[in-house]
Amino acid sequence: KSSKGNGKSKGSKKSKRSGGKARFAMDVFNEEVMENAYYTCHNIMDVLKCRGFPWPDAQKKKGKRKK
């Protein structure tokens, strides 16, 4: 019999990444990286947020909540 499809074979385990962290530290303020972001991005605040540098005022909520 083939062990295909039963999900209990030893080779069927997959490793999971924890939190989607990068494998290596990269300088996000490198000249080439910033030039690429300048020409390709429409919202630099989103670029920096995705790379782990949130905008200081982005966490503050503006306006009043409606009840």
Instruction: Fill in the amino acid letter for 46.
Output: D
Predicted pLDDT of residue 5: 56
Predicted pLDDT of residue 48: 79
Residue 49, SS3 per DSSP: helix
Q: Cα(9)–Cα(1) distance, rounded to whole angstroms?
A: 13
- The pLDDT profile of the chain, 67 residues, written as one tens digit per residue, is 555 555 555 555 555 555 555 566 777 778 888 888 777 877 877 877 877 888 777 666 666 666 6
Contact indicator for 49, 41 with CB cutoff of 8 Å:
no
Predicted pLDDT of residue 49: 81
Residues 6+ apart with CB under 8 A from 27: 33
